[in-house]
Amino acid sequence: MDIKTTSSPQATPIVERVRHELKRRTLTIARTERLSPSMLRLHLTGEDLADFSSLAPDDHIKIFIPNPDGDPIMRDYTPRRFDNAARSLIVDFAVHDAGPATLWALSAKVGDTLTIGGPRGSAIVKGPIAHWLLIGDEAALPAIGRRIEEAWAGMSVTSVIAVGSAEDEQSFESAAAHDEMWVHRPLSQGDRADTLIAKLDTIDIQPDTFVWIAAEAKVAKAIRVYITEKRSVPAGWFKAAGYWQRGEAGAHIQID
């Protein structure tokens, strides 16, 4: 197959880093929602959200899960959507493992409380970006969904997302032109990159495309190698992170 590759753009995007005041917030679960077999959504509310700030779709907050020994367990999650005026925050939980955060979310009830911290900061990607290519799995779906929904008219976005089955696919509303591609593979193969790479082989990556990658750590690394070595995506035009790592609880690995 003759795969088109990118050429080096004239300018490179920059990452503007904005620091936020570190603050813990105690919130109440207003509603629980099962989006799909692999995704649970919690709707949180509380006056502490009046000054909540999250400026990038892939920001992370810390959630503090109660532990029987008294020491809370901390995990990173994406602020999927928030509304300061309504004092609301949505957090999605991928239920692909049996870790403490997943178990807590699955048993959470309306009226339960949750303490969160952050985001510590936001990394805002700016520059001459004409197109976004978003590559990820279940754990990356909250950040991908937020990026798609916050994209503006005139932007184009392609998402390539690996999930367990068609039942795990989600729909997004966006002012941007969005082309979505779904890859189905068993969750037991979540640390394999071959199905995602096979799908990427079928698409063009045009110049001025920013590639965002988040998945299991080995998968994210393999795709980073693929887009730089096989697809010639230049430095500064991609961002890759391991949002989880098979066999290691609470892993979050920055790759680029």
* Residue 1, domain member (yes or no): no
- Backbone phi, psi, residue 230, to 5°: -95, -35
Indicate the residue among 91, 121, 151 that finishes a domain.
121
Per the DSSP assignment, residues forming a β-bridge with 181 are: 160
pLDDT at 5: 47
Can you give the CATH number for the domain in which 55 is found? 2.40.30.10
Q: Check whether residue 245 and residue 129 sit in a common domain.
A: yes
Q: Check whether residue 111 and residue 127 sit in a common domain.
A: no
Q: Which two tokens stand for residue 215?
A: 């998945």
Q: Check whether residue 51 and residue 104 sit in a common domain.
A: yes
* Residue 5, domain member (yes or no): no
pLDDT at 68: 72
CA 192 from centre of chain: 18
pLDDT at 100: 86
> Domains in the chain: how many in total?
2
Q: Write down the pTM of the prediction.
A: 0.92
Running DSSP on this structure, what letter comes out for residue 7?
-
**Which strand (E) or helix (H) includes residue 224?**
helix 217-225
Mean pLDDT, consecutive 10-residue stretches, the chain (256 aa), reads 46 94 96 96 98 98 86 93 98 85 92 96 95 97 98 96 97 96 94 97 96 97 98 96 77 60
Cα torsion angle, 238, 239, 244, 245, sign: positive
pLDDT at 248: 63
Q: Check whether residue 149 and residue 213 sit in a common domain.
A: yes
Amino acid at 59: D
**Residue 240 structural domain:** 122-254
Asked if 58 contacts 143 with a C-beta cutoff of 8 angstroms, the reply is: yes
Q: Check whether residue 232 and residue 129 sit in a common domain.
A: yes
Q: Check whether residue 113 and residue 234 sit in a common domain.
A: no
Indicate the residue among 121, 136, 152 that finishes a domain.
121
Q: Check whether residue 108 and residue 166 sit in a common domain.
A: no
Q: Check whether residue 105 and residue 138 sit in a common domain.
A: no
Can you give the CATH number for the domain in which 171 is found? 3.40.50.80
Q: Check whether residue 116 and residue 130 sit in a common domain.
A: no
Of 61, 42, 38, 22, nearest to 167 by C-alpha is 38
pLDDT at 69: 77
